[in-house]
Amino acid sequence: MKKITLLSLISAISYGAVAHAGAMGESGSCCSAFVALEGGYTRSMIDNYDYSLIGLGSITSTKNNDGYTARLAAGMISMVDDQVGFTGELGWGYYGRTTLDSTNTGLLAALPSTLSIQHTLSGFDVLLGVAYVQQYFSLSLKAGALVQNMQTKTDANIIDLAFPIYDSFTEKKNQTAVLPEIKLGAAYNFDDNWAITGAYMYALGGTPRSVGTFNPDTGRANLVVNSQNPSTNTLLLGIQYTV
């Protein structure tokens, strides 16, 4: 089991490594290790919140998705023959921040109340798969898991409807989940040791959001909250060095 974990640890952007494997196969070497740095953009499936206060208006959110992404990885490829190899990688990445800011309507629009929720995503993943290798390019398909950490910060400033008093509220929390993940990669090998890589990654999670209806007259409320870690779609470009 430790050997499998070590193999994953040494595996990181198989795209360029895979491309280098063409020369590697010709030299008769069984395997090759590589490191890589990737950057790109992530779109998370975090949805808006929507709260309705009957007779008073609503508090909804506008979404700002700052999805700039950076990922560092290390990996390895072992050739089965001159064109096909097994590959794996372990990577850590920052996957951007999504901010939900409140927009008040109706009578609530006149009140200086605000609700801002920030979601910051990061995590590490382990992926194993196969690679198809040609002299100057390679293709790879890998599957595994992303251990995703979602850091959430909530800031609220709310006016009491019965008294002219303002209440402020701040909460920070971390939430971690293991999500299934796939990665499709390609590489162009422009040197014996260097390659340009490109990839698409998808992690399967939920769609966090909250919807609520409140009736001040009766005191009744209906609230539905989905706080699961979100699915993510990530596009990456990178550079990889093969040892």
Average pLDDT over residues 135-142: 93
Give the 3-state secondary structure of residue 156.
strand
Residue span of the structural domain in which 24 resides = 2-242
Residue ranges of the alpha helices (H) in 94-243? none
Higher pLDDT, 1 or 111: 111
Answer whether residue 12 shows pLDDT above 80: no
Q: What is the pLDDT of residue 11?
A: 42
Answer whether residue 225 shows pLDDT above 60: yes
Choose among 40, 132, 39: nearest CA to 83. Answer: 132
Residue ranges of the alpha helices (H) in the chain? 2-9, 14-27
Res. 163 pLDDT band, cuts 50 70 90: low
Q: What is the pLDDT of residue 7?
A: 39
Q: What residues contact residue 29 under an 8 Å CB cut-off, 6+ apart?
A: none
Q: Is the dihedral of CA 24, 27, 33, 34 positive or negative?
A: negative
The count of structural domains within the chain is 1
**Distance between CA 65 and CA 42 in Å, rounded?**
9
Strands of the chain (E only): list them. Answer: 31-44, 49-53, 57-66, 68-79, 84-106, 114-133, 137-159, 166-189, 194-203, 209-215, 220-226, 232-242
Higher pLDDT, 75 or 1: 75
Res. 117 pLDDT band, cuts 50 70 90: very high
Higher pLDDT, 242 or 109: 242
CATH number at residue 64: 2.40.160.20
Answer whether residue 222 shows pLDDT above 80: yes
Answer whether residue 184 shows pLDDT above 80: yes
Q: What is the pLDDT of residue 15?
A: 38
